[in-house]
Amino acid sequence: MKKTFTLTVLSCAILAGCNAGGNKASEGLSLAPVDEKEAVAIVNGQPISRKALEYVKNEITRNNPRAGADLPEGKLVEELVDRELLKQEALQNQLPRQPEVAERIRYTQRAVLSQANVEDYLNKHPITEEQLQAEYDRLVGAMKKSEYKARHVLVKTEDAAKKIIERLKAGEDFAKLAEENSIGPSAKKGGDLGWFVPERMVEPFSEAVIALENGKYSEEPVQTQFGWHVILREDSREKTPPPFEQVKPQIEMMLKRQMIQEHVDELKQKAEIKLLTAKAAEKAPAQEAPKEAPREEPSEVPATPAPEQAEEAPDSGA
């Protein structure tokens, strides 16, 4: 039985078809012709390029990696021929003159050409090694250097917290008291919060941690919106930034995004733009990131996109 594939219209096929048909949906787009020497098939005089063969193979592989790896070239060419025939029939039937079809074509054009322009702009404005090093140095300089390892017992009332402190003074084990009394998710781990930077915690909690010495617990309950805490600061250390080579690819990607955004902003300043819907014209108000509760899951410092992001956002503590 003949093996068939799901037919999906490639963006390049749509663009080529619109241009060949000479209809208004192409918005005046003029495409480079296909060199018949590089064609894998010619359908009613229309050549299909080998590059299109690469596109369809990548497309099928994305949807089904195993199937894409096993497909013979002949089957892929057959798929492209089927698509070309359907495209030509669509043009004969003047489907691009239908408003919905025309808008889909314009959307595809916009996506393909905007991405191509981004790639072209980045190729013409490569990020230098000096820029990467300078951005790395800036990020390292902005890092929060100190981080702390702590445990806590979270209870509902101040009296309950004071009773925990009295039991600690009597020599009871902090982890055991946390396991038996804390209402936070970290109770099952003896109140262990792992390593964190103070900025990730609500201020009353972070201030108390900073004020403590290693190995000391808070002798007065600390109140936050989550309840009353008794805190044990177990250790502290200076954060070590990841090596430059480790985060270099992520920094390069970040700088590229910034460069493209700046370029788009320049284009906007030169363009005449009218926003015709109320929602599109609205500006979202800037919101300050909410302070978070003590993180209830310990974590190690992972490989990071940028040095200042070496610690994942803390989880809610209540």
User: Which residue do the tokens 């310990």 mark?
Assistant: 298
Residues 6+ apart with CB under 8 A from 31: 15, 16, 19
Q: Look at residues 95, 124, 153 and tell me which one is the last residue of a structural domain.
A: 124
Q: What is the pLDDT of residues 280-315, one digit of tens each?
A: 666 655 444 444 444 433 322 223 333 333 223 233
* Residue spans of the chain under pLDDT 70: 1-28, 67-69, 280-318
Q: Are residues 160 and 17 in the same domain?
A: no
Claim to verify: residue 17 and residue 105 sit in the same structural domain: yes
Query: Do 303 and 183 have their domain in common?
Result: yes
Domain span at 48: 11-124
Query: pTM of the predicted model, to two decimals?
Result: 0.60
Domain membership of residue 258 (yes or no) is yes
For residue 285, is it within any domain?
no
Both 48 and 97 in a single domain?
yes
116 and 61 housed in the same domain: yes
Shared domain for 146 and 258, answered yes or no, is yes
> Where residue 160 sits, what CATH number does that domain have?
3.10.50.40
Q: What is the pLDDT of residues 93-131, one digit of tens each?
A: 999 999 999 999 999 999 999 999 999 999 999 999 999
Strands 146-155 and 227-238: antiparallel
Domain count of the fold of the chain: 2
DSSP class per residue in 64-128? -HHHHHH--HHHHHHHHHHHHHHHHHHHHTTGGGSHHHHHHHHHHHHHHHHHHHHHHHHHHSPPP
Instruction: Identify the pLDDT of residue 278.
Output: 75
Close Cβ partners of 59 (under 8 Å, ≥ 6 residues apart): 8, 10
Q: Within this chain, do residues 249 and 168 fall inside the same structural domain, yes or no?
A: yes
Quick one: 117 and 134 in the same domain? no
Domain annotation covers residue 221? yes
Residues 105 and 140 both lie in one domain: no
Q: Are residues 111 and 140 in the same domain?
A: no
How many residues appear in the chain? 318
Structure tokens at 206: 């972070």
User: End of a domain among 94, 124, 154?
Assistant: 124
Q: Is 2 part of any domain?
A: no
Q: What is the pLDDT of residue 152?
A: 97
Q: Residue 65's pLDDT is what?
A: 78
Bridge-based pairing of strands 222-224 and 227-238 is antiparallel
Is residue 276 a part of any domain in this protein?
no
Whether residue 154 sits in one domain with residue 89 = no
